[in-house]
Structure 1
Amino acid sequence: MAFPKADNIIIIGGSLAGLMHALTCLTHTEAKVTILERSPNALLHNQGAGVVAGAETQKFFTKYVDARREIAVRSLERLYLDRDGGVVEGSVDRREQRMTSWDVLYRLLRWRVDGMGAGEYFEGGEGGGEQEGSGNRVKDHVRFGQARYEYGCSVDAVKDCGEKGVDVEWKDRDGGTRTTTADFVIAADGASSHVRRQLLPDVQRSYAGYVAFRGTVPESAISEAATAAFVEKFAFFHTTGIQILAYTIPGENGSLRPGHRLVNWVWYCNYEDGSQELEELMTDSEGKRHAVTLPVGGMREEVWSKQKRYADEVLPPQFAEVVKKTTQPFVQAITDNLSKEDVFSDGRLVMVGDAVAGFRPHTAASTSQAAFDALMLAEWIEGRIDRDEYRSRCLGYAKEVQTHGVALGERSQFGRHPFAT
């Protein structure tokens, strides 16, 4: 089935997946594109999270964003440390990867999609721009600021209206209820998707039994030993019930200059569901219990002090150092979700990205999933594939990577990794 004629497209969710799909729609259709973002802020807060720029992400940004600037730090090798901080024999893999940050990708996408200025954000004022002679269709087709980005919008319901399209009802930031009928709807509202809960109530987001502590440290603030382990490298440490990793990402204002970048780390620790330790960890300094993400600034000082002491007890000294030098940590409970369907309303509504499948972070593929889904949508719109092929490819990718992520996580946290010490 061909892509439906669409003059009015609504995208639910304004993070990376929503923005990528908005840019795809702007490039390949003449539709009016509206993004409904739940956050009450016009600009989503950066969590300081590093992102591995996988093949799909790189392909999408090369094809659609067409930025003048490099977006990633090159990691030249993967390696594993032992408890004393030495490199595990046989663990070095000289495979190059590219590491970026959520903030860099978000800022560039906002610049492309709705014209939010990026020049004042990026170091040197080089937010992006057209490359002469690029031959990229984006250059000729997409006008800056073409999409409408509405924040503070909480979607209450979607309703199939047959050939008329899909009704979307939401509360705006002033508390008023609004309804519109869209020709095509994209649900990019994350792993806790409200749209998915309405359409597939049996698909639940489930806790996997462990959390990820996350943080960043300025490259200039770490020791020579930590620099040797983490700068332009992808380093890991495994032991029973623990995995920690680190790599270099762009720094403040997207800086890629040596000495101005950040070391991003992720530390997985097991916490039994319902345990007192998990409750204490996920309860912030004001007494609010967070279900999935304890945000930057929310961790109680006594909890963080305890975790830093634990770092000295169990981690290699380079990893303990970056943990202890982190001033703005945050925590994510690791969860699973996987949908068996992503196309609804006779092809007039699709779910994408984390709304379809929440990958465990070990795959480093959540951003790649958003990019893959957006690239497949472009093929459907352009008629290179039909609706059934779009569904098959997107669901196939989601199931394969989600299953792989569960296997990686279970081995890491509840089994034994080959390079564990």
Structure 2
Amino acid sequence: MASKPMNVVVIGGSLGGLMHGIVLKRLGHTVRILERNPSPLLHNQGAGVVAGNDTQDFFQHHDLTHRSLAVTSHLRHYLDVKGNEIHREEYAQQMTSWDLLYYVLRANFDRVESGYCTLPPVQDGEGKATYQYGHTVTALRDLGPDAGVELSFRDRDGESGKRTADLVIAADGGSSTVRKLLQPDVERKYVGYVAWRGTVPERSLSAAATAALAEKFTFFHASGVQVLAYLIPVPDGALEPGKRLMNWVWYVNYAPGSAAYRELMTDVDGKAHAVTLPAGKMAPRVWHKQKAVAAAALPPQFADIVAKTEQPFIQAITDVLSPCNTYLDGRVLLVGDALAGFRPHTAASTSQAAYDALMLDAMLRGEMSRQEWAARTMEYARRVQRRGVEMGERSQFGRHPYAGTYPG
């Protein structure tokens, strides 16, 4: 696609934007990430990430820190409401954390120092990498095939600016501004349930919870409910037993527009949130009520970790899928969640970002055409998005084969 170094702007500085930025930097292009968050480093909510094959492939090929990233979950198994195992599958998976991936990617992209990893060696032929925070894109304008794309933005001080790029990578998430500008008819829609999420230090778990959950991918299903848990690295990336975090996700149905849903998504200060209720912002009465539900309705091992969670947060589950991923004659590309927001049941959001970045690398190296890149990444997005809808609908509104009773 490019016979000479390009000036590239990546919109969105989370995992997907950083993956694409690293690929482009290593190929010798000048890369500037524009991240709208007003702080120089992003902060996650303590979320776990299943490191699928595409994620592992990306880090194997592009992470020059070479640090270990994951806790191995040796099997998947299912509990009944009393906490007894009712089914197991010998299936190893790699579990990591958002923050560990983020800081390793920042070390590779713009050499941010942290306690997570050592800085990688500088490679010959790398392009310049810049990460600008507090920059919100407000408009795009096609300047023509030989002139690129003009981006208008507003910085953290409220000042307006413009920048021209040969290529724009839109990696700005499920509520993508770029997608709204280019495809305003595509809407992100709430689908009727949320994920309660949190983490607990492994050392604080009960013996029963440790036996059932440690180094396993554990599930409980009931009508309208799914809860799961797995171990992840701690905030400094430590992987040693006893030092890790137990990450849990609890899917619960709330009708759109219902009083219960409005109460859930309204924080302690009275502010309503559309997609994520951040950690530390939950109204105490809401959390107190949910812990009581956990004690009455979940297997005791899950009730234990919910009760010991200090900073829960909420993720409203949504669907979004763009009909295409290439605009302005291929000078603007939608990637990751900006292209397709997967339901978390797929555990594939990070994998999609990694896959898209790996395919971009292949395209820019001349191993595939732009048309083949678009076809492969769109097929991946459509296939996994459809599978996520099927999994979510079965979990929350159908009947899972290992579902038990749920007296809550």
TM-score range, shorter chain: over 0.9
By how many angstroms is 1:3 displaced? Answer: 4.2
Q: Deviations over 1:336-355 (max 9, x none)?
A: 00111100111111010000
Candidates 290, 313, 326, aligned match of 1:343? 326
Residues 71, 100 of structure 1: 8 Å contact kept: yes
Q: 1:226 to 1:139 in 2, by over 3 A?
A: farther
Name the SS of the counterpart of 2:358 in structure 1.
Answer: helix
Alignment of 1:8-157 (within 5 A): 8-28=7-27, 30-88=28-86, 91-118=87-114, 121-122=115-116, 126-127=117-118, 129=120, 139-142=123-126, 146-157=128-139
Aligned pairs, number: 403
Counterpart Cα distance in 2 of 1:68 and 1:414: 43
Task: Supply the AA of the counterpart residue of 1:317.
Answer: P
By how many angstroms is 1:240 displaced? Answer: 0.3
Name whichever structure is richer in helix by fraction: 1
Alignment of 1:187-206 (within 5 A): 187-206=170-189
Q: Deviations over 1:366-401 (max 9, x none)?
A: 000000000000011001101110000000000000
Residues 99, 235 of structure 2: 8 Å contact kept: no
Residues 190, 316 of structure 2: 8 Å contact kept: yes
Aligned residue for 1:231?
214
Counterpart Cα distance in 1 of 2:119 and 2:222: 43
Q: 1:381 to 1:18 in 2, by over 3 A?
A: same
Counterpart Cα distance in 1 of 2:205 and 2:148: 55
Name the SS of the counterpart of 1:34 in structure 2.
Answer: strand
Q: Deviations over 1:185-226 (max 9, x none)?
A: 000000000110010011100001000000000000001110
Aligned residue for 1:158?
140
Aligned residue for 2:400?
417
Residues 3, 347 of structure 1: 8 Å contact kept: no
Counterpart Cα distance in 2 of 1:212 and 1:240: 15
Counterpart Cα distance in 1 of 2:276 and 2:9: 27
Counterpart Cα distance in 2 of 1:210 and 1:111: 36
Counterpart Cα distance in 2 of 1:252 and 1:180: 35
Q: 1:79 to 1:141 in 2, by over 3 A?
A: farther
Q: Deviations over 1:206-258 (max 9, x none)?
A: 00100000000000000111001111100000000000000000013001011
Name the SS of the counterpart of 2:248 in structure 1.
Answer: strand
Aligned residue for 1:293?
276
Counterpart Cα distance in 1 of 2:119 and 2:225: 40
Aligned residue for 1:134?
none
Name the SS of the counterpart of 2:65 in structure 1.
Answer: coil
Aligned residue for 1:133?
none
Task: Supply the AA of the counterpart residue of 2:22.
Answer: L
1:279 aligns with 2:262: yes
Q: 1:4 to 1:281 in 2, by over 3 A?
A: farther
Give TM-score, length-normalised by structure 2: 0.97
Aligned-residue CA RMSD in angstroms?
1.2
Moved more, 176-185 or 356-365: 176-185
Aligned residue for 1:170?
153
Residues 5, 183 of structure 1: 8 Å contact kept: no
Residues 9, 33 of structure 1: 8 Å contact kept: yes
Q: Percent identity?
A: 55
Q: Deviations over 1:165-192 (max 9, x none)?
A: 0010001122111101100000000000
Q: Deviations over 1:90-145 (max 9, x none)?
A: x2111110000000000000011011102xx22xxx43545xxxxxxx855448xx
| Runs (5+) with no aligned partner, structure 1 | 131-137
Q: 1:360 to 1:176 in 2, by over 3 A?
A: same
| Runs (5+) with no aligned partner, structure 2 | none
Task: Supply the AA of the counterpart residue of 1:127.
Answer: T
Counterpart Cα distance in 2 of 1:363 and 1:71: 20
Counterpart Cα distance in 2 of 1:76 and 1:261: 16
Counterpart Cα distance in 2 of 1:7 and 1:24: 13
Name the SS of the counterpart of 1:253 in structure 2.
Answer: coil
Q: Deviations over 1:27-73 (max 9, x none)?
A: 12x22110000000000012100000000000000100132321000
